[in-house]
Chain A
Amino acid sequence: MSQKSFIESTLRGFTEAFSKALISEQAASLPGLLQCFDPRVRVVGVLALAVSVVLCRKLAVIAVMMGVTILLAITSHLSIWSIARRVWLVVLGFTGLIALPAVFIIPGRRIVLLPGLHLSISAPGLRSAAMLVLRVETAATLTTALVLCTPWVHILKALRALRMPTEIVTMLAMTHRYVFLLIETANQMFESRQSRMVGKLSGRDQRMVIARTAGVLLSKSVELSHEVYLAMLSRCFDGEVRVLTDFRLRALDYLGLTGFACAAWLAIWMGR
């Protein structure tokens, strides 16, 4: 590992987080199928589909649900290429790696014998691995589609409308807001460190840099929390959280909700 790579890879992670947030904001404003529904319908509908995929016990039904999800993404004007890079490849790399040994170690009817390796692929092993990967791919694509098509503020409003406690919704909203502030702060700290770095740092020094940066960030976070609290008090915060909820369900939303409910019920019933 080169001496700067830990800083560069951390900076790359920050940039990816920013770009994910920007892509989300852009896609949410497009006139697609998911975007035309009320945010509450989107949240409930997509989560119902994700749960139905998780409960599904048949590979063919999960594959059909994956097809439905792709169709949903296309009609919502989401870039399939972007989803493939952002979700499918990542899930395949992570879950696929976990599922791969199952192909060989689950006993059952042998379908392929790998020459020279003394390993055989079993039919139950292949089915089990395929179910695991396809299920995670479908559920992750559904969640990503929801996140890309719905601004974060609307997701929070929908959660509040669905009776999630106001304290939790407020904490989620504030955390989301300050995540980006802290990422920016950490980004600046790492950039300034990198610009001043001359020569090679030993492993011990590298660890010290990371720990101290995290320490400074922690002190800043606590300081900021006090300032935010004082700002809340100055705006007459009395411990009660008030959220504006002005969503109205139209006929189209009821239609969408029925469609999501039917698809989820069908998936559970056919995949049982």
Chain B
Amino acid sequence: MIPLISLFAAFSFVVMMFNVPLPGGTTGHAVGVTVAAIVLGPSGSILAVSIALTIQALFFGDGGVTTLGANSFNMAIVGSLVAYGVYRLIAGQSEVRARRRALAAAIAGYVSINVAALFTAFELGIQPTLFHDASGVPLYAPYPLHVAIPAMMIGHLTFAGLAEAVISAGMVSYLQSSDIGLLRGIGDFAGVPTAGKSVDSVPLVRLWWIVGFMMLCTPLGILAAGTAWGEWSSADLANPTTQARIEAESGNHAPPSSVPAGLQKLSAVWTAPFPGYAPRFVKSTTFGYVLSAMFGVGLFVLGAMLTTRITRSSHKQEPRP
């Protein structure tokens, strides 16, 4: 796994330096995250692109060390997951040599870069609200969401997204004609034999123990009295006692005297099956917390199993030569 991820990270780094000619006579830079996600799968792609970004920040001083986490989250994690999801969705069960695959790669490239840019814009846009001095002057990124989002998206919807779409579609077309094995995916690293003990089994068992322990610890939440700041329900805002507490917790800023109409309207749209982590049929609060945790973890496990089954069945449709 180590040489494969390393070489792919090096490849991502070099592809980022390619000037991609775009319609209209200009050029743009691609990230290469889509091809990495198609060939390596999302987990491999996340690692490879993160390593490439780390090398860029630490060795070449590009991108910044203190922003490395945000860059990796936006480009490596969000980019890889969106690219992989869109590609699988559009490519479906099509033949590996089908033109639909190249189209799927182009759309996946375009969408993933734009979703990553949207996340970046959101992270920049919320900064003036979160970090400002006493007079309201922004301390970090100075633009609110209504400025940051269009400013970020215009460049990505036109040039950057297009560059990623061009390079992804072009590479998938090339691989279809010359190295089709790579398009069948090495996401499970099947092409690389693993040495020594299994690296997956031990941490997974340990992870299950940790999940079990965390579930048993969930009743600790009962110790925290009151509602978290900003998570008030319409009932909280209508209650004078809770209103006084909200005012005290908000630096003596009084909440609205009546429940906002929008909140009241939206609060009726969805009623949670386990409101306040306490199912109605359970009398003990402690047991209610544990049961809610088990239900939540169960939903995640079910979702993961379904995703794995869907992914495996689509892999089986593409027999290796």
Tell me the minimal C-beta distance from B158 to chain A in angstroms.
16
Whether the Cβ atoms of A175 and B13 lie closer than 8 Å is yes
B:123-174 near A, CB below 8 Å: 133, 135-143, 147, 166-167, 169-171, 173-174
Among the stretches A27-35, A64-72, A164-172, A252-260, the one at the interface with B is A164-172
Contact A143 B23 (CB under 8 A): no
In the docked arrangement, what's the CA distance between A153 and B9, Å?
18
Considering only residues 93-147 of chain A, those with a C-beta below 8 Å from chain B are 99, 101-102, 105-106, 108, 124-125, 127-129, 131-132, 135-136, 139-140, 143-144, 147
Q: Is the CB of A225 within 8 A of B6?
A: yes
A99:B17 contact, CB within 8 angstroms: no
A262 within 8 A of B: no
Known contacts A139-B66, A225-B3: A207-B170 contact under CB 8 Å: yes
Shortest Cβ gap from A185 to chain B (Å)? 8
User: B20, B61, B64, B139: which contacts A131 (Cβ < 8 A)?
Assistant: B139
Complex formed: what's the CA distance from A151 to B20 in Å?
A: 32
- Determine the residue in chain A with the shortest Cβ distance to B135: A124
Complex contacts, B26 vs chain A, CB 8 Å = 1
List, in ascending order, chain A residues with CB within 8 A of B133's CB: 57
Q: Is A63 an interface residue (CB 8 A)?
A: no
Taking each of B61, B171, B196, which has the highest tally of chain A beta carbons within 10 Å of its own beta carbon?
Answer: B61
| Chain A contact surface mostly | helix
B178 within 8 A of A: yes
Query: Once the chains bind, are B174 and A211 in contact (CB under 8 Å)?
Result: yes
A178 touches B6 (CB 8 A): yes
Which of B49-57, B249-257, B258-266, B293-301 contacts its partner?
A: B49-57
Measured between alpha carbons, how far is A214 from B38 in the docked complex, in Å? 15
Q: How distant is the Cα of A104 from the Cα of B47 in the complex, in angstroms?
A: 41
CB of B148, distance to nearest CB on chain A (Å): 10
Q: Is B191 close to A, CB under 8 A?
A: yes
Q: Once the chains are docked, how many angstroms separate the CA of A156 from the CA of B161?
A: 34
Q: Which of B17, B135, B169 sits near A17, CB closer than 8 Å?
A: B17
Interface: B225 (CB within 8 A): no
> Of residues B5, B7, B8, B143, which shows the largest number of chain A Cβ atoms within 10 Å of its Cβ?
B7
Are B7 and A224 neighbours in the complex by a CB distance under 8 Å?
Answer: yes
CB distance from B82 to the nearest CB of A (A): 20
Q: Kindly state whether residue B118 has any CB partner on chain A within 8 Å.
A: no
Q: How far is the CA of A179 from the CA of B6 in the complex (A)?
A: 9
The 8 residue pairs across chains A and B that have the minimum distance between CB atoms = A211-B170, A215-B174, A174-B6, A239-B196, A102-B142, A225-B7, A178-B10, A206-B21
22 A-B Cβ contacts within 8 A?
Answer: A6-B21, A50-B66, A101-B143, A106-B142, A108-B135, A127-B137, A132-B142, A171-B47, A171-B51, A174-B7, A179-B13, A210-B170, A211-B167, A211-B170, A211-B173, A215-B175, A218-B39, A218-B182, A219-B175, A222-B7, A229-B192, A237-B195
**Chain A residues near B (Cβ < 8 Å):** 1, 5-7, 9-10, 13-14, 17, 20-21, 24, 47, 50-51, 54, 57, 86-87, 99, 101-102, 105-106, 108, 124-125, 127-129, 131-132, 135-136, 139-140, 143-144, 147, 152, 155, 167-168, 170-172, 174-176, 178-179, 181-183, 186, 203, 206-208, 210-219, 221-222, 224-226, 228-229, 232-233, 237-241
